[in-house]
Amino acid sequence: MAPSVAAALRRHLLLPRLRFPSHHLRLSTTSHSLSDQSDFELDHPLPPAPDDDGELSSFLHHVSSAASAATSPKQALSLLHSSSASGPQPTSPSLLVRALWELRRDPDAAALALRYGDRCGSPDEAEGEGPPPPPVEAWHLAVWAAGKARRFDLAWAVVRRMRRRGVLTRRAMVILMERYAVANEVSKAIKTFDVMEKFKVEVDQSVFYSLLRALCKSKNIEDAEELLLLRKKFFPLTAEGFNIILDGWCNIITDVAEAKRVWREMSNYCITPDGMSYTLMVSCFSKTGNLFDTLRVYDEMKKRGWTPGIAVYNSLVYVLTKENCMKDAHNIFSKLIDEGLQPDVETYNSMIVPLCESHMLDEARMVMDSMILKGIVPTILTYNAFLKQEGIEESLKILQRMKEDGSGPKGDTFLMLFNRFFQLNEAGNALRVWNEMRRYDISPTRSHYMTLVQGLVNHGFVPRALEYYDEMKEKGFASDTQLDKEFKNFLLANRDHWRGAGKYNIIPQRGRHFTRRPRIH
């Protein structure tokens, strides 16, 4: 079998076991993150893996051994199947799903484990005969892992196998469409939707809307709107459909002009806006600080008989605070209670964030203290608002408090801090944050390394940047062509400082570039 698969499996065995997310599978409403967090969620909650899951480790080791001894995936599968009598098997659906979760970063390894699990469940592969196939979560994970790595050949192989086994689901096809959308393969996402009937998978308006949401989430909003209008004979236009496009222009890419245009299009097609339509427009105007139009749409919403929800009031709190109408913003809290609603963490964040942006940190702290007294725990967004304004010492204290509250910090928090301190021309503090990140058990991703390296290069600390760049490549992350050129030119210009002999190497061992590190203040 290919060495990369075997090596990947061995790496997975050494990784700390991750808790499997116990949420319901749904479309994420947040923008794609650069962190290592997953955007995949389960159909059904599963019990968390034990702290010492020997059965899982044994199964992964068994798969790894077969992968190492084989020269192809087919041979690896044969080895696993021939040793199934003595070797560990996925004895439960949850074990196979947890194994696939551990292997999610390597689609080849995940596909091998899935096929082995399927063979164990149905040795003769005869459709409809033998024990049941793996659970749908396992199939979905395999499709998602392959699509996330842009190995769509593997993803389609899993889909075709699901079809042969009679377990192909709409969700599997939606996951594939979502992955194509993230890869900006719009036409292939649409083609995937179009072949669903050929695969005997039911197609209805909800699946069509899932495609539109996937396109909008990946910022292909124009394509989503064009598709909505082109397919109106098959899927009649509704407020819900237009709301998906509105959400794209209001929340994913905040573009007031486009949001207004879509609002007019709804009128042109005789589609009456519903409560969600008004909520989205209020949010859009609020984000841009347009107090007049925010209040205008809010008043129109009530006149049309729609009851504002908590999201509308949160938008009002935000825009009023942003425009320094603090008395009116505080009055919204009273109005919420009068309407039978309770302020939530988003309500408080809607006041804290603009206060921090206006450098009114004392006022923001008072709001956060009030929130905590009411038993509402701050979120990462709450703390990040302060981190964007504070100096290094206070930032380190906030990171500790985040950990104590169970609100992070996450990988994106450190990315934000790197960018902030480099913008402040404080490269030394950026390196302090890097060291802190390791204290919080955050494994650096390529984005972390690239942000740190590029920042150090921009501020003239090229030798130190090159050391971290070497470390990044040693961990298996892809190199950057532009940085390779910059480092090569730098080393050639400073060849007198080079201590190595023999063939020139752009990526030497850590610490060998220069005998002395420049001091970073």
How would DSSP label each residue in 182-201? Answer: HTT-HHHHHHHHHTTTTTT-
Q: Tokens 């319901």 identify what position?
A: 24
Q: Tokens 């809010």 identify what position?
A: 298
Q: How far is CA 297 from CA 272, 290, 315, 321, 415, in A?
A: 14, 11, 12, 18, 36
Q: What is the pLDDT of residues 32-57, one digit of tens each?
A: 332 334 466 655 444 455 544 677 88
Are the C-beta atoms of residues 447 and 415 closer than 8 Å to each other? yes
Q: How far is CA 518 from CA 460, 461, 513, 521, in A?
A: 10, 7, 12, 10
- Count the neighbouring beta carbons within 10 Å of the beta carbon of residue 98: 27
Q: Closest Cα partner for 170 from 224, 141, 206?
A: 206
Q: What is the pLDDT of residues 317-363, one digit of tens each?
A: 999 999 999 999 999 988 988 888 999 999 999 999 999 999 999 99
Beta-strand ranges (E) seen in 383-520 are: none
pLDDT score, position 423? 94
Q: Is residue 123 over pLDDT 50?
A: no
List the domain boundaries for the chain.
237-303, 444-521
Are the C-beta atoms of residues 413 and 380 closer than 8 Å to each other? yes
Q: How far is CA 422 from CA 115, 307, 332, 461, in A?
A: 48, 46, 38, 12
Are the C-beta atoms of residues 448 and 436 closer than 8 Å to each other? no
Are the C-beta atoms of residues 415 and 383 closer than 8 Å to each other? no
**Higher model confidence: residue 127 or residue 206?**
206
Q: How far apart are CA 82 and CA 80, in angstroms?
A: 6
Q: Is residue 415 over pLDDT 60?
A: yes
- Count the neighbouring beta carbons within 10 Å of the beta carbon of residue 331: 14
Q: Is residue 309 over pLDDT 90?
A: yes
Are the C-beta atoms of residues 199 and 159 closer than 8 Å to each other? yes
Residue 182: which pLDDT band, with cuts at 50, 70 and 90?
Answer: very high
- Count the neighbouring beta carbons within 10 Å of the beta carbon of residue 492: 10
Are the C-beta atoms of residues 100 and 63 closer than 8 Å to each other? no
Backbone angles phi, psi at 301, to 5 degrees: -60, -45
Average pLDDT over residues 94-101: 85
Would you state the structure tokens that stand for residue 161, as one six-digit string? Answer: 């196998």
Minimum mean pLDDT among 103-107, 323-327, 443-447: which range?
103-107
Residues 6+ apart with CB under 8 A from 438: none
